[in-house]
Amino acid sequence: MKIAVLGAGAWGTALAFAFCRQHHVTLWGRNAEQMIDMQATRLNRRYLPDCPFPADLHLSADLSEAVLGVDLVLVVTPIAGLRPTLRELARLKVDAPLLWACKGFEAGSSLLPHQVVAEEFPHLKSVGVLSGPSFAREVAQGLPAAVTLASENYAFARDYARELHSPLLRIYANDDLVGVEVGGAVKNVMAIATGVADGLGFGMNARAALITRGLAEITRLAVALGGSQQSMMGLSGVGDLLLTCTGALSRNRQVGLKLAEGKSLDTILAELGHVAEGVPTAREVLKMAERLQVDMPITAAVCELLYHQATPQQVVERLLGRAPKPEFHAPGA
């Protein structure tokens, strides 16, 4: 296939690496100066400085050139960049099948990525999300990983998962678009919470409890939005949650660790130099949970830390002081 990967950050670059082993791939980035540097050095020095580009990966700063005659467009921007990129594609009258690898809820609208796509491309039916436990650096290095390709059009998900699948990046088809997107979005919020707990030295027992209860929150929200509980047991649910909450490469976990040190959010984000999607997503998730009357105490605690000047100690005391409840719904309840 001829594929355009739109977004030259760490994840877009890593996916371009993975897919150019079998397909003709062009990696597009908005920053022309960065793309010129990448072309000259054959490196993404800002995001993946230790991963030389494959010889057959094409680069472009011209969007119209990148998407000309493509069989598939893959948008790999932060969630904030999804709608602007889609509008540029619409302006160019691109009608190729579309995948995205954005994770989060759109700020302000609280829309999931597929809802943003539906607003901008209402008549395009061959669309889906690529999500799952996958650190960009490891994928770029050619280490094995597995992700989910989800679409409401299961035949599309099945066929394109088969086309993109490789021994090093295994791709599983799924028809639960909502559940996959919710899992990919909310796990970043839980990773911030887990980073705080780790930073405060609460130990591995607390970490396991927090991840498990975090999964319960994600599942409640996913089901309330129409997703499947089964997906929460899969790659985009527990798989992505475990990786992001425990992996040293997790930016969202790093946010939590630095919050536990007493650093301000502005300082933390400046030090990271990368987008930590859990920060803007936490607010949108809590807004959605309150509207749907879904109990999400860990998410609320993260929002207290990020946006209401609460200290990690205050938030932890509040969580630990909650009244006991049944782990699952009581019979007949």
Which residues are catalytic, by number? 187
For 269, other C-beta atoms within 10 Å of its C-beta total 17
Question: Are the beta carbons of 152 and 126 closer than 8 angstroms?
Answer: no
C-alpha closest to that of 49 among 274, 318, 293, 205: 274
Question: Are the beta carbons of 57 and 27 closer than 8 angstroms?
Answer: yes
Q: What is the DSSP string of 181-193?
A: HHHHHHHHHHHHH
Instruction: Give dist(CA 106, CA 197) in Å, integer.
Output: 27
C-alpha closest to that of 210 among 220, 222, 196, 221: 196
Instruction: Give dist(CA 218, CA 183) in Å, integer.
Output: 6
